[in-house]
Amino acid sequence: MTEYLLWIGIALLIIAASTIFIVVYRKITEKRDPYADMEGQDFEYYCAELLRRRGFQSVEVTKGSGDFGIDILAEKDGVSYGIQCKCYDGPVGVHAVQEAYAGKDYYDLMVGVVMTNQYFTEPAVKAAKKLKIMLWDRDYIDM
């Protein structure tokens, strides 16, 4: 009987150790959200660099406040873009679309864009379609 209890104890110990190993392994290897620790301005510079790598020219991050809804000015193939950047921890709403729309007109640009590390609410998608604002979500910046 004592030997039987000893084997049960060893089996439970192996199961516990395996469980701890799996939890620690998952924690170490799980993908960390690369945008989680970015402040707004850090994200703007990250997006500007991403645009440069994708062939945009004359990429310029606007001043922090008083930017009239545009964080980045850029050109590609003769088309001028104004990009509103949103580094959020949830879906991006209509307000960002409105900012891009206003900024596009203020800077007299051809295309207005909202670029985010997240996705957009349904009302934001509808507003963007109506106002002809491009939406570049997490899938765009991660590709």
Confidence of residue 69 (pLDDT cuts 50, 70, 90): confident
Find the domain containing 9 and state its range: 1-30
Burial annotation 37-73 (CB, 10 A radius, 16+ → b, else e)? eeeeeebbebbbebbeeeebeebebbeeeebebbbbb
Give Cβ neighbours of residue 71 (< 8 Å, ≥ 6 apart): 44, 47, 61, 62, 83, 84, 85
Same domain, 14 and 45: no
Lowest mean pLDDT among 3-17, 69-83, 101-115: 3-17
85 and 53, same structural domain? yes
Mark whether 81 and 63 lie in a shared domain: yes
Total domains present in the chain: 2
At 71, the pLDDT band (50, 70, 90 cuts) reads: very high
Judge if 118 and 88 occupy the same domain.
yes
Over the stretch 5-39, which tens digit does the pLDDT of each residue have?
Answer: 677 767 667 776 777 777 676 666 566 667 777 78
87-108 residue pLDDT tens? 998 999 999 999 999 999 999 9
Q: Is the domain of 45 the same as that of 21? A: no
Q: State the Cα–Cα distance between residues 111 and 91, nearest whole angstrom.
A: 22
Q: 86: which strand partners?
A: 116
> 9 with 62, same domain?
no
Name the residue type at position 124.
A
Task: Report if residue 79 sits inside a domain.
Answer: yes
Whether 4 is in a domain gets the answer yes
DSSP string, 49-88: HHHHHTT-EEEEEPPSSS-TT-SEEEEETTEEEEEEEE--
pTM for this one?
0.75
Q: Identify whether 35 is part of a domain.
A: no
